[in-house]
Structure 1
């Protein structure tokens, strides 16, 4: 639940930044960042990867992983898939799946009943918050910024 709040706060902050800066069609300068996300050495598909700035000047950045676990980072102020700015980041990795709760909800308009679902975080908890993730990286200009993250399950 807290990771959802963090992600929501990140999205709101990014949206406000775009609103304040305006839509002039110009992108900030970014540095390409890419890598692979695995869990117990297996690629993780459809995970959300968020780089949370830990130093001044860093831009919040995000990506979703592909079927082979790869990602290409981007910020809202940079060109799509173009990376982020130089700086120190905590890396948060989340993935939610919908699960039925066993209850039904009734549509007030149609009167139809549907199974109630809730999102369930499936990544190990330590990786889902900026305050607990062991993944800390430094994005640097003039260097290849490839960051692979192998999470280990706690089960």
Structure 2
């Protein structure tokens, strides 16, 4: 079994550290990426870390994960609430899937309250800030380990 976790990031997350720092903080996506690699390495996992502003590219990453990943951690950003294509792609991935959001989307405007991705997520991490990625990797390692037992 592969020991690679795909960490997928949707639109505008490349602007972390600049975009709405009152909501998302000053941590950049590069900082998050580095922390993900360090956390995964400490747990004996590899990371495939991707970000895209394009829906089809995010769907293609899920398709690739079907062949190469033991789990997906996904921050679909704006596609959380709009992308049937992403939902359908995630339905084809059987191993664990963690939906992740940096902010507490339920404390924000109502448009952010109804996730399509949550329908197929194994677990959801919301509101832990950038640290949520590391927590999600720890959780994924536990889920994958539990699946092996």
The normalised TM-score by structure 2 is 0.25
Report the TM-score, using the length of structure 1 for normalisation: 0.25
